[in-house]
Amino acid sequence: MEKLQSMEQFELLKNDERTVFMFTAGWCPDCRVIEPFLPIIEVDYPEYTFISVDRDEFIDLCVDLDIFGIPSFIAFNEGKELGRFVSKNRKTQEEIEEFLNSLS
């Protein structure tokens, strides 16, 4: 999964078609739990571009988007928020897939 490099890149990707931002951090144990199946999700949902956002590097963005728990996901399409799966709870592969299926 590609990592977000800058706010300029965030704006470009947000305004693109079907981008899912995953908010994470290196110290987050629940984020490590989902890492093994993220490549499977990326393959199973090729219509989306998945971007990893380090919460600590982009804390202002997280505040602006009301991301107070990780891992969390927000999907955008052409600048509009399609949906969000935001909480401090651990996510399962099935829950993430349910979220992605709800976007269509």
Residues assigned a catalytic role: 28, 31
CA-CA distance, 50 to 35, in Å (whole number)? Answer: 13
Q: Which residues of 20-32 are buried (b: 16+ CB within 10 A; e: fewer)?
A: bbbbbbeebeebe
With vertex at residue 69, the alpha carbon angle to CA 56 and CA 24, rounded to the nearest 5 degrees, is 45
Chain centroid offset of residue 9 CA:
14
Q: Give me the amino acid identity at 57.
A: E
